[in-house]
Structure 1
Amino acid sequence: MAKIVPFKAVRPARDKVSLVTSRSYDEYSPAELASQLDYNPFSFLHILKPAYINQQKASAETRFKSVHTKYQEFKDEQVLKQEAGAVFYLYEIQSKNRVFTGIIAGTSIEDYQNNVIKKHEDTLPYRVEYFKDYLHQTGFNTEPVLITYPEKPELQQWIATRKQKRPLYLFSSLNRDKHTLWRIRDAAEIQWLQQQFEGIDSLYIADGHHRSASSELLYEQDKASGNGNLNYFMSFLIAESDLKIYEYNRIIHDLNGLSKEQFLKALSKDFTVVNKHLELWKPEEKFNFGMYLGGEFYALQLKNTGFKSVLEALDAQILYEKVLHPLLGISDLRNDERIEYIPGNKPITLIKEMVDNGDYQVGFMLYPASITEIKQLANNNLIMPPKSTYIEPKFRSGLVVYEL
């Protein structure tokens, strides 16, 4: 039985929303970032990285306090405004190829602790601690956890009907996506939505494992304060069928001392290796892998597909167990500097270019995991290898803020 709650969100003034919201800070190139910070005084990036040129010289505590101060300035100047009462939001992102629609709400720390909200990725303690300190010092979060739920016809019908009403925001971002936000503040409608989620046994984290873990750590640290907002964290709840799950492809700096011929021979033990020459080939079904090596593409088809668990049958795990670890000597997927990851929404020509440039010797293309695999892993308390999935949609910073 899942619990969601409305909250008194902070959001941009209606006339400034397209100027305030931004992509995640890490997604900007240095030139793009400089342009935004130099020419757009309303960008939320000014809050996320105040005095960005000198950021690395300051302690974490000093940086976090600067974020808090800049955030308060945006509120004082009415660039950001707080809702008069607790609300939900319905949010749609329309890109060139897809439409994503979900509900923005507070989700329960208790549900997270009791495994009503299920996880499939591991977290790094230092990152969880770092973001917990960030939340504690800044007093807000604008990056919701992406959570998926089993599709419910009643909810889908409500969403379709609700989208016919006048939105609070309708704007386009520079990447040509269209964003629409509806505010849900009617008490009866809020109660009905809560009842719909009370009928759902399990929710699944799609993206945001570190953010949710940090929220739990902050709750445990500060719950004696009596701050009720700590009992929840902001989430973007979206039906399973609306998610877009990409793979993370892998590129490796070297062949661990093997020649191309030796490597291909070693691969043939577990895979049927087919030379695709210059064909831009990537797998179209499970247990198949693409490879770019020595100026040519290869198709690798796994010979033995009999596995005892969903984790063993996961393509990212298979690549690790059959290739990356035994042949290329990579044991730590998270920290080994010889391996890099390319999200599957990038063209495979990028992998070709990076290998052709000489910085890397081999690239691997995977078939994306399914939502069924993700749920089976979470239901069995199993953890995916690092960088197994890249999941859309991605939320814009500064669109909705949850205060702590």
Structure 2
Amino acid sequence: MLAQALFGNPDILLLDEPTNHLDLNTISWLEEFLINFQNLVIVVSHDRKFLDNVCTHMADIDYKNIQLYTGNYTFWSQASQLIKKQKEEQNKKTEEKMEELKAFIARFSANASKAKQATSRKNMLDKLSLEEIKPSSRQYPRIRFTYNKIPGKDVLHVKNLYKSVDGELLIKNLSFEINQGEKVAFIARDPFIISNLFDILEDRVKPDSGEVTWGVTATHSYFPKDNNFYFENNLTIMQWLAQYSPDQHVNFLRGYLGRMLFSGDDADKKVNVLSGGEKVRCLFAKMMIAEANVMIFDEPTNHLDLEAITALNNAMIDFPGTILFTSQDYQLIQTVADRIIEISPKGYINMRNKYDEYLKNPVVIKKRQEIYGA
């Protein structure tokens, strides 16, 4: 469908979440195509880097209004916050001035010698008004991951791992070690490779050969990409979350649900009718309650809006434990990961780098040519 839309050379190109289900290389290609596209592009996306690279204008739909900004996503984010802050500061100054005038009027209105000044102050007060600052429709979940068991240095050891599916080799002789506090992004041109690796680490799938050894103090919590099986029941959200914390009071559970934007009667909704984004937020609540010292995320930004992605991004940065994750969100990888492991059926690359440095590293560029055969 994307190819059909792009290559018709339309006057107006309307794209609704075009980066969904695309790998990072294809997203990069799409960015370049749209940058060079001569006609009008209207796009909806939750990929922050994509919006930064492609967009020249941002249409901000909030406060039941549409405000057009000239600039990309980062400019809009900064400018909109600055405008809101300026309005708040101006209102504060106006309130202080109004209180000052009211105090003068109350003190001197009955004083004949000051009556004229009091009347003047009253006229000034009548002209002052506070600018309405409408509440935003945007809501940020309050995501914070912590752990309750102090981890040791050795978190995970993987040795000589092989895995094939339906006769097709996915993982070949993969070995690596993970230490406490590392935040490792796993990437592959075929996301199925990483999903299989994470399922192996969680003992949901068996490798063909090789060893997976978790540290004795490691406790891990897993966010699988295919997570619908968690919600194939008739439980309410409250009942569903209570499964993972059976000894806790209902108010404890409501606190976590509230942080994930489920308030009041939302707790009584059936989990089998939740949207994709609501299911993801339920899983985040489950992971927060678990308080594991190792977090594994397989494409956690799928189905999330920009506010939830931002909240998750910050929570992953702040988490003091270990994170293993994969994502097609460039900014998430860039800001969270301090190490990259890239896997193909022909081999792998294991490099301690920020993602942008990794992509420019000549050793990595050469190795990528080897493992992808191009």
Report the TM-score when normalising by structure 2: 0.21
Report the TM-score when normalising by structure 1: 0.20
Greater per-residue helix proportion = 2
